[in-house]
Amino acid sequence: MLWSARVVGGARYDEIPRIPGGPGTLVLMNHQSVMDIPLVVRALRGTYPRIVTRERYAHGKPLISHMVRLYQYPTVDPGATVKTSLESLRERAAQSPVPVVIFPEGTRSRDGSLSKFRKMGLRSILGGREWEVWVVAVDGWWQAAKLTDFIDNVADVRGRMRVSGPFTSPAPGESTSAFMAEMEREMQDLFGRISSSSAEPLPAGEKE
Residues 44-68 have pLDDT tens digits of 988 889 888 766 555 555 556 656 6
Contact 47, 99 (CB under 8 A): yes
Contact 141, 120 (CB under 8 A): no
pLDDT band at 40 (very low <50, low <70, confident <90, very high): very high
Residue 10 has pLDDT above 60, yes or no: yes
106-147 pLDDT, tens per residue? 887 778 888 899 888 899 999 999 999 999 999 988 877 777
Give just the sign of the alpha carbon dihedral 145, 198, 163, 96: negative
Alpha-carbon distances, residue 202 vs 122, 184, 208 (angstroms): 33, 27, 12
Q: Name every residue whose Cβ is closer than 8 Å to that of residue 87 and which is 6 or more positions away in sequence.
A: 124
pLDDT band at 168 (very low <50, low <70, confident <90, very high): very high
pLDDT band at 8 (very low <50, low <70, confident <90, very high): confident
pLDDT band at 25 (very low <50, low <70, confident <90, very high): very high
Q: What is the distance between the terminal CA atoms of the chain, rounded to a whole angstrom?
A: 12
Alpha-carbon distances, residue 18 vs 11, 14, 38, 44, 45 (angstroms): 20, 13, 13, 6, 7
Residue 69 has pLDDT above 70, yes or no: no
